[in-house]
Amino acid sequence: MSPRVLAALSRPTIGHLDPEFQALMEDIKAALQRLMGAPDHACIPLPAPGTAGMEAAIMNLLEPGDRAVIAVNGAFGGRMADMAGRAGAEVVTVEDEWGKPVDPAKVEEALKAAPTKVLAFVHAETSTGARSDAAALCKLARQYGALSIVDTVTSLGGIPVDAAAWDADAIYSGTQKCLSAPPGLSPFALSKRAQAAIAARKEKPRNWLCDFGLLMSYWGGEGGRTYHHTAPINALYGLHESLVLLFEEGQQAAYVRHARMHEALAAGLEAAGLKLLVDAEHRLPQLNAVLVPDGIDEAAVRTHVLKAWDLEIGAGLGPLKGKVWRIGLMGASATPWHVRLCLTALCEALAAQGFKVNGAEVLKAADAKLA
């Protein structure tokens, strides 16, 4: 996190119906509309982590008996399918191999088969580092009369998210990935079409805290605010500051920075003789899944870099457990310093296990992309 976000978090806590706080709420709503490319969506931060955004989208848009097509190409798609089942929906999953993007042709087959209420997918799959084509998938949803739910927890702030251009219905994110604010809030956007679908529900959504209609009585602002829950005031100061920082840098500039840091890291990894899991054209800049070479104790490498360099590298999840390391270059950690730190630490940990690697050459390859 930026020191400015940390400082914002420690500002005095005021009341959640204080006029000053209400002005901050309006600022945050407008900033989220701008960041998500969603001028006509209702945009609010939900008072819980990214998973709450996922649950809010699923519980508000699905009713018992509705058909939901859920693309699963990693851990988070699987979580959406579990939730849709709990909402009472008839769940059809479209599976792709972990490390591959969602295949639009398979999704189309599933949508063609029967009338579908919701198509849900993950834009940036954090468990694998694969990026799916959100524009194409949202377009398919429109074509077959389904509402789209897009998980942008890891994409928002790191690669373009454009709700209007995609014509997406529900988009949710998290604060602790590329926004570099603390965990605990979920930026959420809902289209007019999705709002109309909620208004036309036969029964109330089965969640109370993130029932969209109830939330808007507090966040909507028209005709005064009524108490719904006590907003996490200080966390919202932190989110606000992280959005100010992002707009100071410029959204496009932030995307370019993430892309450049990824190129530098990938060049260094390649010079070290390591390979990435995902094909170059579908790689996320902010999440790099690196294949563990044969004969290397992957957990020992993570322990080494954590103890010696105070650097945490993510482990593989699900079928990728023990097979990959996951290196995040998100928000405030997408910098040349972090790229060089990570490569240096990784080379040292690999060398400690007898892996032949020339640290100076690795840094040279990365630096060539940073020049």
> Interface with ligand PLP by CB under 6 A: which residues?
49-51, 54, 76, 122, 126, 151, 153-154, 174, 183
Nearest distance, CB of residue 49 and ligand PLP, angstroms: 3
Nearest distance, CB of residue 51 and ligand PLP, angstroms: 3
End-to-end CA distance of the chain: 25
158 vs 268, beta carbon nearer ligand PLP: 158
- Report which residue type is found at 290: V
Of all residues in the shown chain, the one whose CB is closest to ligand PLP is 50
174 vs 316, beta carbon nearer ligand PLP: 174
Which residues in 342-351 are b (16+ Cβ under 10 Å) and which e?
bbbbbbbbbe
171 vs 267, beta carbon nearer ligand PLP: 171
Nearest distance, CB of residue 285 and ligand PLP, angstroms: 14
DSSP notation for 53-103:
HHHHHHHHH--TT-EEEEEESSHHHHHHHHHHHHTT-EEEEEE--TTSPP-
Nearest distance, CB of residue 114 and ligand PLP, angstroms: 27
Q: Which SS3 state, helix, strand or coil, does residue 125 take?
A: strand
E strand intervals along 140-216 = 147-151, 170-172, 186-190
Nearest distance, CB of residue 358 and ligand PLP, angstroms: 34
What the block records as the tokens of 235 is 């966390």
327 vs 365, beta carbon nearer ligand PLP: 327
22 vs 51, beta carbon nearer ligand PLP: 51
Do the beta carbons of residue 35 and residue 156 sit within 8 Å? yes
116 vs 173, beta carbon nearer ligand PLP: 173
In angstroms, the CA 173 to CA 153 distance is 4
In angstroms, the CA 38 to CA 30 distance is 9
- Going by their DSSP bridges, the two strands 124-125 and 130-131 should be labelled as antiparallel
Nearest distance, CB of residue 54 and ligand PLP, angstroms: 6
Nearest distance, CB of residue 241 and ligand PLP, angstroms: 19
122 vs 327, beta carbon nearer ligand PLP: 122
Residue 236: C-alpha distances to residues 17, 28, 54, 69, 319 (Å) = 14, 8, 19, 33, 36
